[in-house]
Amino acid sequence: MKKLLLLSIAALFLLSTIGCESETISRQEAYNACISIASAARQYERKTGYAPMDIGELENKGYLQLKTRIKREWKFAVNFPYDVIAKSTIKMPGGPDIEIVYEIPEPI
């Protein structure tokens, strides 16, 4: 009985650790996506003279390609030239409503 209890506790610990790890990975990927979005927005603005309205515009024009999983776990808003905001959805391992704000640096 004690072995079963110890195995159950170990399994729960392992599952919770995996959940935390996948949440951390998802957050890092969202942050990296924000950097990619900012870069694509800058290229788009230089080429067209206009700031993009949203990431859909960047994707449709070929400036950006994000993984489907990232778009399922996070919603992105681009406020060029100021920032890109990622907000987690219910599909993200850490849960919804986690916000990441990437401030777009001024061009050199």
pLDDT of residue 18: 42
First CA to last CA across the chain, in angstroms? Answer: 66
| DSSP 3-state percent helix, strand, coil across the chain (nearest 5) | 55, 15, 30
- Tens of pLDDT along the chain (108 residues) come to 444 333 344 443 434 444 567 888 889 999 999 999 999 999 999 999 999 999 999 999 999 999 999 999 999 999 999 999 999 999 999 999 999 999 999 987
Q: Taking a C-beta distance cutoff of 8 angstroms, is the pair 78, 84 a contact?
A: yes
pLDDT of residue 84: 98
- Cross-strand pairs, 74: 88
Residue reference for tokens 């990232």:
70
**62 residue type, one letter:** G
pLDDT of residue 22: 80
